[in-house]
Amino acid sequence: MRSPSFIYSLVMLEGLTEAIPFVNPTLIFSFVAIFTAGGYLGEVFTKLHSVLIAAASAIIALILVTLLNVFVLIPLSNAEESLVYKESDLRGRIGTVITGIPVDGYGEVMIENISGRISKPQSVLQNQKYLMEKKY
């Protein structure tokens, strides 16, 4: 069993990532990947000193990770969740029955939305009998 101090440190790390945006694991791992790849390529293909290669690789990694953060991660975090829907959003919408719904069972209804099609299980309400609508 994990000690309470370990769990407390994990909670603190989670709060740290909220407070300081550059502690994002995506940014840290991408920096390490770009830095090490640049260092490896610099050692293999150039005859420069290792410290100079490490400095150049760190600068290039810092620039690329900053571009990744500014142009990909920040817009993704601010993007509107257009694919998310609530059950209340579907009330009153007209759908197409794609699997026939028996009186005492379940079928399937497809509702077309701006972001795509939503397929939901459906049952009969108030003893009505639904037939499968076919589109050709």
- Domain boundary pick from 59, 78, 97: 78
Tell whether 15 and 42 lie within a shared domain. Answer: yes
Place of tokens 């694919």: 83
pLDDT-derived band at 135 (thresholds 50, 70, 90) equals very low
Residue 18 has pLDDT above 70, yes or no: no
Tell whether 68 and 91 lie within a shared domain. Answer: no
Tell whether 73 and 9 lie within a shared domain. Answer: yes
Tell whether 50 and 66 lie within a shared domain. Answer: yes
Q: Tell me what the mean pLDDT of segment 104-127 comes to.
A: 78
The structure's pTM equals 0.51
Tell whether 33 and 91 lie within a shared domain. Answer: no
- Domain boundary pick from 28, 55, 78: 78
Average pLDDT, rounded, for the chain: 79
Q: Tell me what the mean pLDDT of segment 89-94 comes to.
A: 77
Query: Domain range spanning residue 130?
Result: 83-136
Domain CATH number, residue 109 = 2.40.50.140
Q: Whose CA is closest to 111, among 101, 131, 97, 130?
A: 97
Best-predicted range by mean pLDDT among 8-12, 81-85, 119-123? 119-123
List pLDDT tens digits, range 40-87: 999 999 999 999 999 999 999 999 999 999 999 888 877 766 566 777
- Domain boundary pick from 35, 55, 78: 78
Provide the domain count of the chain: 2
Tell whether 73 and 10 lie within a shared domain. Answer: yes
